[in-house]
Amino acid sequence: MILLGVNVDHVATLRQARYRDEPNTHGGFVEPDPAKSAWLAEDAGADGITMHVREDRRHVQVEDVIRYQEKMRTRLNLEVSLAPQMVELALSLKPESVCLVPENRKEVTTEGGLDILSHIERSRDAVKAFIDAGIPTSMFIDPDEKQLEASAEIGSPWVELHTGSFARSWYDATRRATELATLRKGMEFGISLGLRVNAGHGINYDNVEGAKQLDQVYEFNIGHSIISRSITHGLQEAVQKMRAGLND
């Protein structure tokens, strides 16, 4: 079975669109609440929850993470950048796992994988800090053999393959086949290196048909499409449909 991690960042994005500069004076968190959405996703069958705390706090806030953890029933996969202050923050929050991702201040959502080769020592130090704290670490990377080798070399037990190029190519049959083959090759190479392979980014209710062909991927982390569908179908149905799509 392929597991489903539900990313609730875009719930926080919607909240911040209105309440970014408004202090929390309501005796709770203003709507919509990413922590509450995370609990609902768990009720619907999510195998885990992903939250990305960015350096500029553009969507998920530290308070969201803490509040979620108070009633968490599955596990938290916390995404952070390699910045030293973010590594320290992640260590203090003690999530069940961490995924190290690139950050670009101009991007709306993460685009592209982390270039480990260009940040090899920082990556190594971060992975060691998390492993010493008993927190498994995943590197969010493109399905590139050199990046996979670097992930294994620095001691990261997991990787998460960036599926954005595949997702964008879905409606072009030739490109779709090429991108899926690239992901499959990356998946198989990562497994041969002893890595646990997760995947995510841009997976939706159409291209999940191709994504599930990557049947040795341990877990897909999916957010935007699930949160989008929840507007018209409800979060429970959206989570259950995606989880079934990965495994039917």
pLDDT digits (tens, 9 = 90+) for 44-66: 999 999 999 999 999 999 999 99
Any idea where the domains of the chain sit in the sequence? 3-16+27-247
User: pTM value?
Assistant: 0.94
Burial of 65 (0-12, 13-18, 19+ CB in 10 A): buried
Average pLDDT, the chain: 94
CA–CA gap between residue 48 and residue 3 (Å, rounded):
8
pLDDT digits (tens, 9 = 90+) for 2-41: 999 999 999 999 999 988 876 554 545 578 999 999 999 9
How far is residue 194 from each of residues 119, 138, 187, 232, measured CA to CA in Å? Answer: 22, 13, 11, 41
pLDDT of residue 187: 98
DSSP 8-state assignment for residue 234: -
pLDDT digits (tens, 9 = 90+) for 155-209: 999 999 999 999 999 999 999 999 999 999 999 999 999 999 999 999 999 999 9
pLDDT of residue 103: 85
Specify the CATH superfamily of domain 3-16+27-247.
Answer: Aldolase class I (3.20.20.70)
- Catalytic site residues? 52, 79, 201
